[in-house]
């Protein structure tokens, strides 16, 4: 499943969105236990600010700059930063990772 690093940052103005994503994170942890014995794992990837149309939509240049300043890497994430983590979780090599929320955010949170 996908969540958001906003759950960890608790940023004002994103209450409803963050609450929904927090529910997703909780669901993953419960699913990991409910799927016991099936060989199916349940995990959640929670990206930070990623340079996508969704991120830029409705944000001013100042808001984007602030998001960049909050990241230790000094840039927005890109889809290529997140995709390998999602891909790894879809392989058998990740079978011992279960019920986890992996924040892929460059240190944002």
Please provide residue 52's backbone torsions phi and psi, each rounded to the nearest 5 degrees: -130, 170
Q: Is 42:99 a contact under the CB 8 Å cutoff?
A: yes
- pLDDT in the model for residue 63: 96
Report which secondary-structure segment, H or E, holds 101.
strand 101-104
35-86 per-position pLDDT tens digit: 999 999 999 999 999 999 999 999 999 999 999 999 999 999 999 999 999 9
- pTM given for the model: 0.93
Domains of the chain: 6-104 (3.40.50.720)
3-39 per-position pLDDT tens digit: 999 999 999 999 999 999 999 999 999 999 999 999 9
Q: Known catalytic residues?
A: 17
State how far the Cα of 48 lies from the Cα of 46, in Å rounded to an integer: 7
């Amino acid at each position: 499943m996908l969540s958001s690093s906003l759950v960890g940052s608790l940023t004002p103005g994103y209450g409803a969105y963050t609450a929904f994503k927090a529910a997703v994170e909780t669901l993953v942890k419960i699913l990991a236990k409910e799927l016991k014995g099936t060989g199916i794992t349940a995990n959640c990837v929670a990206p930070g600010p990623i340079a996508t149309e969704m991120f830029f939509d409705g944000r001013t240049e100042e808001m984007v700059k602030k998001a960049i300043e909050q990241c230790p890497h000094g840039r927005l994430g890109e889809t290529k930063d997140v995709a390998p983590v999602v891909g790894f979780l879809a392989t058998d090599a990740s079978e011992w990772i279960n019920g986890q929320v992996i924040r892929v955010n460059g240190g944002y949170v």
